[in-house]
Amino acid sequence: MDISKPDTTVKCWVDLYSDKMYSWAFHKTSSKEIAEDIVQDTFLAAFQSISKFEGKSEPKTWLFAILNNKIAEHFRKQFRNPTVTESQSGSSLFDTLFDANDQWIKEQRPKEWQGEQAHLLDDVAFVKVLQGCMGKLPINWMAAIQLKYLEEKKGELICQELGIAPTNFWQVLHRAKLQLRKCLENHWFKK
C-alpha cells in the first residue's frame, strides 16, 4: 500500500476496516447515528494525519487508536454538555423514591429480585429490556454505566476520560443505577 497517495490509501482502509470500526463504535455508543459519525470522523482524522503514519503498526491498529480517541472525545463532550429532557433528568424518579428527608419511601425500597439472576446477561430477552432501560438514561449517565460495568474500567480512568470529578462520577453512577433498577423492576421483574 502506497501511503504517498493518501486518498487511495484511506479509501482502501475504508473498504477494509469500516465495518469492524462501525461495529466497535456502535458497541461503545449504542447509537447507529453516533457510531456512523464517529467512524466518519476517524477516517477524516486519518486522512488529515496520514503523513504521521509511519507504518510501525498495522493500519487497523492505528485507525482503532484514533477511533477509541474519538469515542472518548464523544463521551467527554456529552458529559460536559448533556442534553437532558425533563423525562430523562431523573428528578421525578427521585421524588417518587425518596421523601423530603432523603429517606426511602417504604413502598419504593429496593426489593429482592426473585428467580435466577446469575445468567441474566445470557438471556436475550433480558438484554433487550436492559438496553431499552439504558437507552432511557441521560447520555452522560449511560456513558458512566457503560464504562464502569460493561467495559470494567476503573473509576479514576473513567473520570479522566469523561473529564469529571470523582464525586460527580459516583453521584452519576448512583442515580443511573437507581433509574436502571426501577426500570428493570417495572419491565422485567414484574412479569
CATH code of the domain in which 21 resides? 1.10.1740.10
Tell me the residue range of the domain where 33 lies.
6-80
What is d(CA 4, CA 7) in angstroms, rounded to the nearest whole number? Answer: 9
The answer to whether residues 46 and 97 belong to one domain is: no
Residue 90 — very low, low, confident or very high, per pLDDT cuts 50/70/90? very low
**Residue 114: what pLDDT?**
57
CATH code of the domain in which 181 resides? 1.10.10.10
Residues linked to residue 98 through DSSP beta bridges, in sequence order: 104
Q: What are the φ and ψ backbone dihedral angles of 190, each rounded to 5 degrees?
A: -95, 15
Report, as an integer, the average pLDDT of 160-165: 84
The answer to whether residues 26 and 73 belong to one domain is: yes
Q: Where are the alpha helices (DSSP H) in 30-84?
A: 32-48, 59-80
The answer to whether residues 36 and 70 belong to one domain is: yes
**Residue 63: what pLDDT?**
92
In a domain, 86, yes or no: no
The answer to whether residues 45 and 128 belong to one domain is: no
What percentage of the chain has pLDDT greater than the value 90? 11
Considering its fold, how many domains does the chain have in total?
2
pLDDT at 94 over 60: no
The answer to whether residues 168 and 137 belong to one domain is: yes
pLDDT at 138 over 70: yes
The answer to whether residues 97 and 176 belong to one domain is: yes
The answer to whether residues 179 and 129 belong to one domain is: yes
Which of 137, 136, 159 lies closest to 147, judged by CA? 159
Domain final residue pick, 80, 105, 134 = 80
Q: Which residue has the cell 456502535?
A: 26
CA 89 to chain centre: 17
Domain final residue pick, 26, 49, 80 = 80
